[in-house]
Chains A and B, each alone.
Chain A
C-alpha cells in the first residue's frame, strides 16, 4: 500500500499514450488500440489487489 503505485500508473498512462500516438501516425490503428488495452489490463492488475486488501481490512475492522 505504498504511494509509488500512483507513479507507476502515471508512467504507464504516459507510455501508452505516446505509443498509441506513434502507432496511430504510422497507420497501425488496431495496434494502438491493443496497446491501450494492454495498458488497461496492466493497471487493473495493480489496482485490484489494493482494493481487495482495503475491503478486507474494512470487513475485518467493522466485523461486517
Chain B
C-alpha cells in the first residue's frame, strides 16, 4: 500500500517537472530534487528497520563491532553519493555527478583498508 503512495507522488512530481521544463527549466530541476528528497526520506525510514535488525543480530553472532559499523558506514556513503550524483545528473551536470561518485568510491576504499590489513595479518600469521 505504501508503494502506491510513493509511486503516485513520484509521478505527480515528474508531471509537474515536465510541464515546467519548457517554461522555466530551473523549476523542473527543483521539483525533481524535492521529489527525490521526499521519496528518499520514505526509503530511509524503511532502512532504519534493516539497521536495527543488523545491530540486534550482533549479540547472537559475536562479529566484532568494527566490521558492522564499517558496513553501515559504507551503506550510508553509497546511499548519499548515489542520491546526490543522480540529482546532479538529472540537472544535466554529468561531470559533477562523476566527481561525487569517484569521491564516494575513494571514501569506501579508505574505510575498508583496515579490513584488508586484518586479512593480510591473519594470512601472514597462518603461513608465516
Contacts A58-B79, A63-B72, A64-B73 given; indicate if A47 touches B37 (C-beta within 8 A): yes
Q: How far is B24's CA from A19's CA once the two chains are assembled, in angstroms?
A: 12
Q: Which residue of A lies closest to B6 (CB)?
A: A3
Give the A-B pair count, Cβ closer than 8 A.
Answer: 90
Contacts A10-B31, A63-B73 given; indicate if A54 touches B16 (C-beta within 8 A): no
CB proximity of B13 to chain A, nearest CB, Å: 5
Contacts A50-B34, A61-B47 given; indicate if A17 touches B24 (C-beta within 8 A): yes
Q: Which residue, of A10, A54, A59, has the highest number of chain B Cβ atoms within 10 A?
A: A10
Query: Which residues of B are found within 8 Å of A12, using beta-carbon distances?
Result: 27
Beta-carbon contact of B72 and A36 below 8 Å: no
Beta-carbon contact of B44 and A14 below 8 Å: no
Question: What is the interface residue range for chain B against chain A?
Answer: 20 to 34
What 0/1 readout, one digit per residue, does chain B (102-115) give for beta carbons within 8 Å of chain A?
A: 00000000000000
Contacts A36-B24, A62-B75 given; indicate if A10 touches B16 (C-beta within 8 A): yes
Q: How far is B35's CA from A1's CA once the two chains are assembled, in angstroms?
A: 10
Query: Which residues of A are found within 8 Å of B47, using beta-carbon distances?
Result: 61
Question: B57 in the interface, Cβ–Cβ < 8 Å?
Answer: no
Q: Which residue of A lies closest to B27 (CB)?
A: A13
Q: Which residue of B lies closest to A18 (CB)?
A: B23
Instruction: Out of B23, B26, B44, name the residue touching A54 (CB < 8 Å).
Output: B44
Beta-carbon contact of B40 and A54 below 8 Å: yes
Q: Which residue of B lies closest to A62 (CB)?
A: B76
Question: B67 in the interface, Cβ–Cβ < 8 Å?
Answer: no
Q: How far is B36's CA from A5's CA once the two chains are assembled, in angstroms?
A: 12
CB proximity of B10 to chain A, nearest CB, Å: 9
Known: A13-B24, A13-B30. 8 other contacts (CB 8 A): A3-B38, A6-B12, A6-B34, A50-B38, A57-B41, A58-B80, A61-B48, A62-B76
